[in-house]
Structure 1
Amino acid sequence: MFTVLLVDDEPLVLEGLKFMVDWQGHGFRVCGEACDGEEALERIAELDPDLVVTDIRMPILDGLQLLERCAADPRVRSRFVILSGHEEFSFAHQALRYGVVNYWLKPIDTDEIHETLRKLREQWSEERCQPPVTLPQPNPSPQPEREFPVTGISEELCAAEDGLFLAIESGEGERIVQGAELLATIVRRSFADPAWRKSYLTHFLLELAWKTSAGETGEEMTITGFEAAQELPFFPTDEEAWERQLADLCREAADRLAAQRAKAGPAGEAARYVRRRYHEPLKLQDVAKALHFQPAYLGQLFKKHIGMSFLDYVHRTRIEEARKLLRRTDLKIADIARAVGYADPELFTAKFRQFMNVSPSQYKKS
């Protein structure tokens, strides 16, 4: 049996997790509970659980702070799952730094939880059966803290990413497979540490999830609804298999985009216009004129099919591109604001915080 600690400041959620989830049937035993991050730290030190399921928003010490504290403590061997009612991508982005194995959204989906537990049990049972590894003697000289280099990535990687995104948008299956193979190959060549390689691909898949959720209908795709974010922690040891899984996930994203476009009609045309020219001043009247529609009619169609106003979509598209620049470059915030179409850096910061729940500088550091 693997042990699990449940952490949430809502008693009803704790009760639901205990009684709705078939822990025992999937090889797990609930060994304790905690109502905030500070209490969770004490329980982790006391119980040494295999798995910690923790809420994000809690008093005293929140879930991300708990992850940070545990990641800095070499005595903590527990793995973590994030549980939250908030679907912001920024939470998952920050949590990835600490190696979370999954991200569950409230209300509780027992089928999703059971599938995660099944995979964890298989993976961890296999790890327990491996022969012990003789560790090398520690180097007495101080070593720099390891961080995944999320900014300033090479032009080769940027080109491979962009090429794969274009293949997904075009829906060309052969190009998607070739692009996935190329990206995985360059990632292996670029990062010596397997953890960095997996982290890089995780960021790419989150970027893909964001792009798909910001597609051409109002059908939002949540973190847990996108298989990439669920499956990546369970990639096999054999990295050659990553290419096939990456290609499969990219094909699924391409199929979803194609379905979105089929339903969006003129609103989809307007959305594509915005995504091509987001860095320019954009007004609904000008886009309607370019596409030969009445502005009021196009605005109504846009709201109906895209699920948000034209102006909100412009802002969201700009923030999407800003996220890419924050991850890839060392440009100043003001320069990024101008690059994505904001003359006023303060407006850019406000809109970024609105969509990402963190400031651009916080996102860059996360």
Structure 2
Amino acid sequence: MYKVFLVDDEPLVLEGLKLLVDWETHGFEICGEARDGEEALQAIGQIRPDLVVTDIRMPVMSGLELIRQARESLNSDSHFIVLSGYSDFSYAHTAMRYEATDYLLKPIDSEEFDRALRKLRADLDKHRQAALAKANEKLAFARYSLTMLVQGMESSGIAQQAANRLGIGPDTEVCVILAEERLADHRESVQRAIEDVTAGGADMLLFPFDDGIGRTGLIAAGKPANVVNVLSNLRANIAKHAAADVWLYVSDWGLGPSYMHKLYEQAVQLRDNRPFGTVLLAEEVYGVSHSDSDEPVPAIVMDYEDELVRFMESGDPQSITEAVDSLFARLYSEGTPPSVARAIASDLSVVLLRRYPSSDTEMDRSPNTVSTALPYAGIRELQSTLVRLCVNASEKLGRSEKKPMVAEAVRIVKERFRKPLKLRDLAEELQYQPAYLGQLFKKETGVSFHEFLNTTRIEEAKSLLRRTDMKIAEVAKNVGFSDAEDFSRQFKSIAGMPPSAYKNQAKRGS
């Protein structure tokens, strides 16, 4: 509806205008009235009506003077329909010079008035559509410019100029806010909610942008004193309008458009690494944690191979996801810096991909390529990659035939028991994780790898003690024991008597 303001010093004329004209049908609503030009001028400055219907001859200030001062003093773009009981052409000429929309004589002819309103409504609609199209064009250009700035693509200065027109000058405090929805199918509703919230005004200037690669964000300009409360209310309003769970990731504050790219990358890191490297500013609002030192983090040797085996042995994707989540939760609770958590996740992914080449086309890359690409990914992406690799490895292990691998391990033990032989070395040769190979070996043979190795050595030692005159120390060395005392202990444990007693018994038996 368009707003119309009525001005006439005769109350009966005002009542007639309100009752005789079907304003609503023509798309207008009366927003006020005045009995003289001076009172009307003050109201026009406050209300900014689309149409003013005014008499010419009034006390204090005439209708023509009202139009002149409204144009010159108020810079008003309101339309004016002038009513007059005088047919003097000079009045009409003056009214048109002040750009009055129409000049109608009293008494009012309802049909003539209706025609004037229909014509004015068409002009107002056309003007409003043109203004809306122009505003949308400016908004689209501004958002494109903001996208250029946050992505660091600006070189010509056009984007900075656009930012300045939005009120973001070189000394304006700015930050970048990224929004994330819990469910992917809520993205459009969150985008619409951001539009609604920013259009409604806020304690700081907010400009939505879409970075073109799936991230929705806001440029905030003008840091308020109660910034945490403002951010908390902002998230709550977006979530309410979108009817969705929403997180906000808020960068540090910088000065002017030139900082936007750096702040955008910081917000992306917050989003990709949460909760590592973040501080909870308010409910579901994350900011930058500055507790970590800028000094290089020393290398930390952490062995999570047993974790990997546990992940894969579960066989259930949900259990694997929970296990990986538990690992990262523990890393976070232990205060692990983001760089170390990222390195651990990357290393584990590379180890898995090397041992169990993935059939996932997204990960169908050599370990060397992955090892250089993964460290640049966010921790959450690495965590997701680790889950997929564990599930893939678990499926491979479930489909594979285990007996041939154990049979190969048994063959190697029987061939090489005389030499130093460790489970880790055997697992590396067979390209299996040591703990997993050990568990599978015991499951299928009934004894542990070490028990099987020692039993194989002791059986050979029995043969040597029965058939040769070798000394016990020589037998121990021959079957793979570097320590004669350890050999004697193992022999007694397996054969039930010391090697010397066994040798004497064998001789008596012969």
Q: For the superposition of Structure 1 and Structure 2, which TM-score range results when normalised by the shorter chain?
A: 0.3 to 0.5
Q: Which has the higher strand share?
A: 2
Structure of higher RCO (CA pairs closer than 8 Å, 6+ residues apart): 1
| Rg comparison, structure with higher value | 2
How does the TM-score come out when normalised to structure 2? Answer: 0.26
